[in-house]
Structure formats: C-alpha cells, structure tokens
Structure 1
C-alpha cells in the first residue's frame, strides 16, 4: 500500500513541477524553485526529530498516558521550533542576510506558513504511523500532493504567477493537517494532564542528527558542484548533476516507503529480530538491485527521462547510483538503531560521514567536476554504511551468513549480465529488458533460497482479491516453493 502511495505521490509531484514549468515564465519558475528549496531546508528541522520520536513511543509498549504526554510534548516542541525558525528566517530576509529581494515578500510568508503547518501535520501523521494505520497514512500523503497540484494550477490560472504556485504549499499542507486531525480524533491526547519528561527531548536530539546525516549525504553534493566549479560553468554543471541525482535517488524514496512501515514494527517488537532482518533483507535484495541497474546502463535511463544533451551526466550517474545503494542500507541501519533505542550510533557516525564527503568534495570537484562530486558521495556513503553495518553486527552479536552474501552477489551479477546483454536503449527496449532481467533475477533468488514462500506471501497478501489476480498469486507461490527445493 505504501509503495502504491509512493508511486502515485511521485507522479502527482512530477506533474506539478512539469505543469508549473509550462504555466510560469522561466523567472517565475525559478522563484518557485528557490522557495521550494528554502521550504525543504526549514522543514528538515521539524520533520527529522520529533515526528519519528513520536512514532517510536506510540508504537512502543508504553501505557496510554505516556503516549498521550509524548504526543502533547512533541506537538508543542515542534510548533515552537517552527515559530523560532520562522522568526529567524523572516529577520534574515528583512535584514538582507538572506538576499532575495522585495519580489519575495509574499512568497516568504507562504514559506513560513507552510513550515508551521508542516510542523503540526507531521506530529499528527506520526500517530497514524505509530498505530499502524498505513491506509490513512498513505491517504494523507496523496491528498496533500494532489491538493498542491490542483490549488497551484487554479491560482496560477487566476493570474497570481509565482505567488499562486508557492501559495499552494501552505494550502496543501493545511488540508493534509486537517485530514490528519480528523483521522486521529480517537487519540484523545488533550484529555491527559501533564507533559512528558525530559527523556523525549534527549531522545529526539540524536534522532535529529541521524536523519540530518542521511539527508545531507544525499543533497550536499550538488551544493559542492555549484560553489566549487568555475562560475561560468557552475549552473550548467549543476543542471547536469541534478539530472543524475533525480534518477539516482529513486531507490531512496522507495526505502523511505519500506521503512515507514517497518519502523513501528521494529519499535514494537524490539526483542524479535524478525522485522530487522526483513528490513535488511528486502533492502538488499529488492532496492539495491535498482541502484545497480541504473549504474550499469545510465545512458538508457538518461535518454528516456531527459533531452539528449544530458547524456554528459551518464558517468556521474553511474557512480552516484552506487553511492545511493550504500545510502539505502545506511538509512535502513539508521532506522533500526533508532527503533531499537540506540539513536546515538547513527547520530555520531553519519555526521562524520558528512564531514568526509565535504572534504572529498573540496578535493575532487575542482578537478573532476560532477564525476568528482559523485565519487565523493559514493565514498562517504560506503564508509557510513560499512561502519553502521559493523556496529550493528557487533551490538547485537550476530553471525555473518557468508553463504547468503555470496548467493546475493552472484544474483546481482546474473541480473546485470542479463540486462547488459539485452537491448536497453529507448523506452520500450528498456522496459522490456528490465522486466525480463527482473524475472530472471527473481527466479535465481528463489533457486538460491533467498526468496522464500513466506516472502512471496508477504507481498502477495497486499494484492487485492480478484479472480484474475488470485490464480497468478497462487501460481507464483507454487513456483517459488518448488524452486526453493532446488
């Protein structure tokens, strides 16, 4: 359900950006992009600490009073952070520390309103996530993006230009907030007296740095391209690298959907390794292969999604995709540590990885451009992933299953070999080769016993019951069961 919501949301968000690109002038579209970037930065401070902390406590084995007090404290703390950020940002804008110009007066107000609404909305949404109501969780995400698309189109059509497009941000978030409040009215936290103790704040701080670390690892490289290359070429190189990042970061959004579901389960069943092992297994077997596929045939993906001149970003895409593969596992290990009450580990490791990436960017980007930026990201993400994986094995005293690791690497090799030898240039050849090589890959996984009948049932149970789907699901289970016996 969350994967479906991800794809629908991604499609609507893509439609918003494309439609705004057609409806606005280049200058107005640029103002929209700048506003969206500032909103992303401000939102990071209200979406990285208390929402996940709230989910952690609500999904955990705590009494109702504790859960209510945590929710109240998190809501007020997040609201306070949003107000403080808004004041600092507005003062910076008015004093020209943030030099945007007078044309951004109303746009800044929209950014601040969206930040405040977001701060409250994510706390209410964490109730749904913590109580395993993923249908409602997904509904709010899709509704918010759809509201942004529709309100943006209507307001721009009314002649408001960039203001109308940016005004869609607070409007859509407010609609999502209202829906979240309505769907969580049974969680009557306002009836409970008192507030949470200081533990929630001490817990939220390392949660923030862990989430901040993964976000910076993924986004700081394009800033390096902008400021560490020649001024005359920086905009063009940033555009090429942006195209590479858009494609390379697709698996990151998928792992976000996966962990948004598994995080509360891991938090609830900390004594049971089943959910943690499933998180690692599914990330390794089903998300990392996507990063490897993009890295293997980058030209095919670029030519399908972007104009021909963006082919220059293919080498950078190939390298940064490998980095995103390491980042996928980094995010999984980070969420596992956070859900199992050890948020300090990623809070220490990931900022160090970010520092390594910054040093590498300074050293490599001036000489190697976007390839240097991609290499810096890949190295930093690999270091963060390896360190977190080692600490995970050591902390929970796990035994390495070397046979499974070898089988996984062989499966990856067969997937890439099949893809590389099939025609993949062009939309239909690429889709066809991905489908065929994907089927081969799944058969190999089943033959190696890496994909079991239990795994198949987990995914197939999410399919709707239909006379055309049920026989396919039963046949799939039967094939996997027989291949497991090979």
Structure 2
C-alpha cells in the first residue's frame, strides 16, 4: 500500500520506482507522441528543443545539492547534521537555479536557442527552472530517506500535471511553444508542493547550515553528473544551434527527437534501478558487497532492456510507424544509432551512481568530462557534414567513452565478475527466437509486425525463465513485492 513516509528495502524500492517509471514513461511518451500528431514538424521541433533545455536544467539541478543531500542522509548518524545539510541544500540549489535561469535567458536572447520563443515563454522557462531547483532538492531528500513511495508520488504527480496542462493549452487554447512551457511550469510547481508534503515531518526549522560539507559534496558530484546529463541532451541542442547554419531545419530536429523519445526509454529504466540500490551501495562494508549490489541492478540490463533495444535495432521503422506520423519514419537509421548510444550511457550512469556512493567523486570529476568533450568534438565535426545522423553518432561515441572510462575505474576498485561459459551461452539461446521474429517483423506491414514482436517478446520471457537466466527466486520476489503494493481489502462491515 502506498505510504509517502514509509522506508522501503532495495527490492521493494526498486519495484516502486519501476512502477513509477512505467507510469511516468507512458505519460511522457504519450505527450511526445500526441504533440507530434498535433503540431507541424517545425512546431514540434521548437517544442523539442524547449523540452531538452528544461530537461538539461533539471538534470543539472539534480546533479549537485540533491545527490549531496542524499549521501549525507544515508551516511549520517546524528539528526542535527542532517538538518543542517537540508538547509544548505535547499538554499544552495535555489541560488544555483536562479543563476541557471539567468544563463538560459541570456542564451535565448543572444543565440535564439528555442526557435520562435516569445518573451513571455522565456520568462516562464526561467520560473520553471527556479521552481525545479526546489523540487529536485526535495526528491534528493526523499531518496536519501528511502521514501521511495513518496519519491515516486512526487515524480509521477509532477509528470501527470505537466502532460495534462500542456495538452490542454496546446489543443484548446492553441498555444504552441508557450503552452508547453506553461505545462512544464505547472508540473514543477506541483512536484515541489508534493515533495514538501511528503517530507513534512523531516523538513527542518531555522538553524545552522552545513555549508562546507554539503557544498563540497555537491560540487564534486555536480561535475560528473552534469557531464552525464550533458551527454544525454547536448546532441539535440547542438543539432538546433550548429545545424541551423548548415541546412538542418526544425523538421529535422523533430525527426531526431521522435527517434530519441523511443531510443532513450531504457536509460530511465536503468536510472530507476540504480537509484533503488544507491543507499545500500553507500552502506556496503566490503568491495565484494559493492560489486554484488551493482550487479544485482545491472543484470537486468541484458535480461530486460537489451531485448527491447533489439526491437529498435532490427525493426526501427515498425517502432516509429506505431507511435509517430508517417514523416517521422525517415528517422529509422537515427533510431538505430541512438539505441546503441543509449546502452552505453545507461551503463555509464549506473557506474557513476555506484562510484559516487563510494565517495570516488574526484576520480569521477576527472573522467566523465573527458567523455563529454569527446561528444562535443564529434558534434562539431559531424553535424555540419551529416546532420541528424552525425549528431546521433556523436551521442553514441560520447556515451560509450563514458562507459569505458567509468568501467575501467570500477574494475580497478572492485574487480570484475564474469558469468561462467555455461551461463553466458544461455543468453543467445534465449534471444534466438526474438531475433528471428524481429527479422520477420521488419518485412511485414505495421500491425502484423506488432503482433510478431509481441510473440517474440513472450517467447524470450518464457525461454529466459526456462534456461534459468531469470531465476525462480526472481519471479517469486517480483510477485511478493507486487502483492505487498496492492491496497489491502477493507473488511466487510456488518
């Protein structure tokens, strides 16, 4: 049963966050798909750039003080120190949000980052960034307190309001970019209010602020996490900024965004998994325990996420045709490349959170920016020559560079753990029916292809259980958690 103040275990917390992701993904991706049908490609391209700018700002605001607060809460033994960290994180992130809002306003005025954005729209964007600074800090606190129900409620409620308000303003009031901006502002306000309510028994009153410890942790973590967020979003913004001078239109950006909507879904699933185990990795006492917790989360990447990505690699046209209007089907090659890059980035993000939980912030701050610079260099070279395909390739290069750099650091600190040959052979055996049916799906019309893909996924799931890739205890644990999450039936009254 949902409780905003309950602390949950890693298994239950992971299930709650995955359910949150499922609902949030349906809402977010429904918004992107519906807007693609409602707007012209040029309008959808402008809205896509606005969405990526605000997402980048949200990611930057989540990167420093919220994660620092999470770490302090997880590791602190005295409540007094936690209260001081709360105060410092809230005030510090608000100040950072105001500064970031001013930077976005200046960039829009000088470079026209979001095509066609009015003065009112830019003002709404600035207010959204400031409010987001509060909501992200409160979400960091909920994460540290292991209140996964509250965290899921805050995120899902904010997304729901954002989607509903955006669609209302775009469809009925006929606001385009401005309507999307107002929808994001409404979602941020509701998320901040819900976060404050979920933490009503934890929010401190006036008192001292732990500026030194909180700011030090925030700055060290912000460098690496911000670089990961920039790798995720810079390609769309660069495609708009750099591409405008080399024949890339808003419609091309819209096609790229449609492909990115599908390709990057696994990244957010993995983010939920790594968030669930973060508090437990932080408290692990041995290197073996750290490696065990990381693998407990990462093992679901090849088991659950890679099969979904195979659909985007083998039958990208079917996936695009299912969700988007016909003009967006030309993004099939972009979708393939972005899917490959997403696997690298989600691996890098899971490694990042694991290593940060162990306070390896200095090493992270040195390595992740290297991957970002690799992507930026690739974007500068590739976008003028190959447009959207070049941007996708640059994203993939930067993502896998980050995964390689962080993977090397993880192995050096905690060692590697490889599956036995017998276990490794089970994986292609389970995937074989899916790959065959995906090849068939790519050669048949749209709706029969969907049925073929569904059958392929079902066969993969059954085979994975039969060859013991998915263990019996995994299945039983999922059923147990789902039963616990169901509301208890009220006893019948006489």
TM-score range, shorter chain: 0.7 to 0.9
Contact 2:36 2:325 in 1 (8 A): no
Q: Verify: 1:81 aligned to 2:62, yes or no.
A: no
Q: 2:298 aligned with 1:280, yes or no?
A: yes
Contact 1:35/1:108 (8 A) holds in 2: no
Say if 1:407 and 1:53 are closer, same or farther in 2 by CA, change over 3 A.
farther
Shift of residue 326 of structure 1?
1.5
> 1:110 aligned to 2:129?
no
**Secondary structure in structure 2 of the residue aligned to 1:161:** coil
1:148-203: CA deviations, max 9, x gaps? 23444555688583545533333332222122111111114226x42225232222
**Cα 1:437/1:25, change in 2 over 3 Å:** closer
Report whether the alignment pairs 1:384 with 2:399: no
Q: What does 1:394-413 correspond to in 2, within 5 Å?
A: 394-401=412-419, 403=421, 406-407=424-425, 410-411=428-429, 413=431
SS in 2 for 1:462: helix
Q: Distance in 2 between matches of 1:27 and 1:233?
A: 11
Q: Deviation at 1:464?
A: 3.2
Q: 1:248 to 1:33 in 2, by over 3 A?
A: closer
Alignment of 1:420-459 (within 5 A): 420-423=438-441, 425-426=444-445, 428-459=447-478
Equivalent residues in 2 for 1:312-323, closer than 5 Å: 312-323=330-341
What's the offset of the Cα at 1:31?
6.4
Partner of residue 357, structure 1: 375
CA distance in 1, matches of 2:189, 2:348: 32
Q: 1:242 deviation in Å?
A: 2.4
Q: Are positions 1:125 and 2:139 aligned together? A: yes
Q: Distance in 2 between matches of 1:371 and 1:85?
A: 30
Cα root mean square deviation, aligned: 3.3
Aligned partner of 2:263 among 237, 241, 248: 248
Distance 2:386 2:104 in 1: 35
Deviation (angstroms), 1:119: 0.7
The question of 1:8 aligning with 2:23 is answered yes
2:197 counterpart of 1:215: no
Aligned length: 465
* CA gap 1:35/1:184 in 2 versus in 1, 3 angstroms: same
Structure 2: tracts of 5 or more residues without a match: 1-15, 487-494
The equivalent residue for 2:392 is 374
Q: What is the 5 A alignment of 1:62-101?
A: 62-90=77-105, 96=110
TM-score of the two chains, using structure 2 as the length reference: 0.82
Deviations 1:239-258 (A, max 9, x none): 33222222211111211222
Q: Give the Cα–Cα distance (whole angstroms) in 2 for the partners of residues 21 and 307 of structure 1.
A: 7
After superposition, the C-alpha distances for 1:357-402 in whole angstroms (9 at most, x for unaligned) are 2233334444444333333332332232123222211111344445
Tell me if structure 1 keeps the 8 A contact 2:135–2:192: yes
Query: 2: distance between equivalents of 1:302 and 1:308?
Result: 8
Instruction: Report the TM-score, using the length of structure 1 for normalisation.
Output: 0.83
- CA apart distance, 1:86: 3.1
1:179 matched residue in structure 2: 194
- Give the unaligned 5+ runs of structure 1: 468-486
Deviation at 1:317, TM superposition (A): 1.7
Tell me the CA shift for residue 343 of structure 1: 2.6
CA contact 1:225–1:365 (8 Å) conserved in 2: yes
2:323 counterpart residue number: 305
Structure with greater contact order relative to length (CA < 8 Å, sep ≥ 6): 2
Q: Deviations over 1:4-42 (max 9, x none)?
A: 222322333344456667778988777655544443343
Query: Using a 3 Å threshold, how does the CA distance of structure 1 residues 335 and 430 change in structure 2: closer, same or farther?
Result: farther
